């Protein structure tokens, strides 16, 4: 139970910087983002505030894969230094181009180490809810920062 509290706090307080180093051009009214490249610009298929907020919130976890056009972010397994016999993995689906709470679907996986190796165990249902809240809060902060800078 204590591990859940530590994880929830870590998720709520996690990172202010994104691990993403691509060049982005953002439209603050619609939340859409174009990714600049040598061949031109490509528009994200999802809300860029949710995308960047998810990367910011999960920045303490290693990323396994990220697809900004499909809206999927998958972390690799993460073990907190306080609980090395437990690890978590998160998959975030961004389902909408609008900044909405129902535009996120989050799956959290948890394993504990036993004599047989890593074993799947139940995840506290509040973990995904708290993670969703943290991402939405960060997305709103990014949106407000963009609007005040324009």
- Determine, yes or no, domain membership for 38: no
pLDDT of residue 41: 61
Backbone angles phi, psi at 102, to 5 degrees: -80, 5
Show the CA angle centred on residue 35, arms to residues 129 and 55, nearest 5°.
25
Residue 11: predicted pLDDT = 43
What local confidence, expressed as pLDDT, does residue 17 receive? 39
Distance from C-alpha of 84 to C-alpha of 137, rounded to nearest angstrom = 29
The pLDDT value recorded for residue 31 is 53
**Domain total of the chain:** 1
- What pLDDT, on a 0 to 100 scale, did the predictor assign at position 39? 58
> Is 11 a member of any domain?
yes
CA nearest neighbour of 112 among 121, 103, 104: 121
- Reading the chain (150 residues) residue by residue, the pLDDT tens digits are 344 434 444 444 343 334 444 454 455 444 554 444 555 566 667 899 999 999 999 999 999 999 988 999 999 999 999 999 999 999 999 998 888 889 999 999 999 999 999 999 999 989 999 999 999 999 999 999 988 876
In a domain, residue 122? The reply is yes
CA-CA distances (angstroms) from residue 92 to 25, 84, 127?
23, 23, 13
**pLDDT (0 to 100) of residue 8:** 44
SS3 letters across 44-108: CCCCHHHHHHHHHHCCCCCEEEEECCCCEEEECCECCCCCCCEEEEEEEEECCCCCCHHHEEEEE
What was the pLDDT predicted at 88?
A: 97
pTM attached to this predicted model:
0.71
Q: Is residue 106 part of a domain?
A: yes
Note whether 67 and 80 are within 8 A (CB). Answer: no
Range of the domain at 127: 2-20+46-149
Determine, yes or no, domain membership for 137: yes
35: in domain:
no
Q: Is residue 91 part of a domain?
A: yes
Is residue 94 situated within a structural domain? yes
Q: Return the CATH number at 55.
A: 3.30.530
């Amino acid at each position: 139970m204590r591990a859940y509290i530590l994880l929830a706090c870590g998720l709520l307080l996690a990172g202010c910087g994104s691990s993403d180093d691509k060049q982005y051009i953002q439209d603050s009214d619609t939340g859409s983002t174009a990714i600049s490249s040598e061949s031109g610009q490509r528009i994200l298929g999802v809300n860029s505030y949710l995308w960047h907020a998810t990367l910011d919130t999960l920045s303490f976890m290693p990323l396994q894969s990220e697809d900004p056009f499909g809206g999927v972010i998958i972390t690799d397994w993460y073990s907190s230094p306080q609980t090395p016999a437990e690890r978590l993995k998160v998959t975030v689906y961004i389902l909408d181009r609008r900044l909405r709470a129902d535009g996120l679907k989050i799956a959290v996986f948890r394993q504990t180490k036993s004599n047989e190796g890593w074993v799947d165990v139940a995840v506290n249902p509040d973990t995904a809810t708290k993670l969703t809240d943290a991402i939405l809060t960060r997305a709103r902060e990014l949106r407000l920062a963009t609007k005040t800078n324009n």
